[in-house]
Amino acid sequence: MRRPYRVLARVVALGMLAGATACVADDPGHPRGFPEAAVVDDTASPSPSAPSSPPALTDARARSALLRQDDLGEAWAGTQGAATWRDGLLKGRTDLPECQELLDAVYTEDILGKPKGGTAVTGFDDFEYGAQLRYQVGAYDKADLDARLGKLRQLVDKCGEFTITGAQGREYGAEVTPVELPDDLGDARQGLRLVVSGDVEGEDSALTLDLATVRVGDTAALLTHGGLYGIDDTATRDAALAGTHRLQNLLKKQQQEKKKQEEQQQEKKTKKQQNQEKQPEKGEKKTPSGASSTDARRPAAPYSPYAPLTPPPPASA
């Protein structure tokens, strides 16, 4: 069932938050809002000392691994713009260093680290709850991903509740809880829910933001799903499942293509070796079929136009 009144309330609240956002300096160095099918071209350059190897994903393949509207349901559509609550409620300060680290990571979405290959991002609006969802996928360093997921897990455990001081000195209460993801979802995973509540222009409001990240091999996906008037609890899980399965299918297809190319190259190499073995050595003539190699090397008798002389038979007595 659609809730159009939620959309109207969302528009009013976003307008109120825009005033608080106007005094916050923009930071173009980090992804902001929910760009529609935007592609991040920040591809890491390989180290000069590191052996060159093809990335797990190119930009084109990363785009093909993105979520689609059909993966989310009829209430979702391509995003119409960025939500201002990102700056209004997530950009702030807290007295606890570990919670500040978590808050900064969620705000800048710097969870996965620097990509080692192609990466792409897309966004959607939920017209039922007035929420927004952002999804990005890319190739990264596997060991670095596991270390970052472990660090995120520690921060979630340490920061249950804390206070955020935002623009104009306004204070908001923050609560962090883990979000359970299926154990068989990818190779590693971590999820959290951040609820930021407080007074927004004279009205009590609460931002609910789910974050889920999943590693598949040396690729990973990051999903954020948030809204000021609640979110669909099943949407985060369903989107994470759909996105991970799409990424897994892409990598499986890519591996099959790679294996096929290697088999074709090996087949060409084998045929080339067989052809080289059939070729005679330099200066050696091919041996006619049915003749031995000894016959082939035996010199031919000199030709003579005269019949050979035979001694006459002995005279009879």
Q: Which residue has the tokens 């689609």?
A: 68
**Phi, psi angle pair for 228, to nearest 5°:** -80, -15
Residue 196 has a pLDDT of: 95
Using N-to-C axis directions, what is the helix angle for 142-158 and 97-108, rounded to 10°? 130
Residue 256 has a pLDDT of: 78
Of 197, 193, 209, give the one whose Cα is nearest residue 170. Answer: 197
Residue 149 has a pLDDT of: 96
Give CA–CA dist 194/174, Å, rounded.
7
What's the DSSP call for residue 45? P
Contact at 8 Å (CB) between 198 and 205? Answer: yes
Those residues whose C-beta lies under 8 Å from the C-beta of residue 204, and which sit 6 or more positions away, are: 197, 198
What's the DSSP call for residue 314? P
With H, G, I as helix, E, B as strand and everything else as coil, classify residue 270.
helix
For the chain, residues with pLDDT lower than 50 are: 1-52, 317
Q: For residue 70, give both structure tokens.
A: 């059909």
Give CA–CA dist 21/269, Å, rounded.
63
pLDDT digits (tens, 9 = 90+) for 128-172: 888 999 999 999 999 999 999 999 999 999 999 999 998 788 999
Contact at 8 Å (CB) between 206 and 228? Answer: yes
Residue 171 has a pLDDT of: 93
Residue 54 has a pLDDT of: 56
Q: Which residue has the tokens 């090996």?
A: 266
Global confidence as pTM: 0.69
Residue 23 has a pLDDT of: 36
Cα within 13 Å of Cα(258), Cβ side: 10
Residue 134 has a pLDDT of: 95
Contact at 8 Å (CB) between 225 and 236? Answer: yes
CA 184 and chain centroid, separation? 18
Residue 2 has a pLDDT of: 43
Q: For residue 34, give both structure tokens.
A: 């929910």
What are the C-alpha distances in Å from 114 to residues 139, 145, 220? Answer: 9, 10, 12
Give CA–CA dist 262/54, Å, rounded.
14
Give CA–CA dist 226/131, Å, rounded.
5
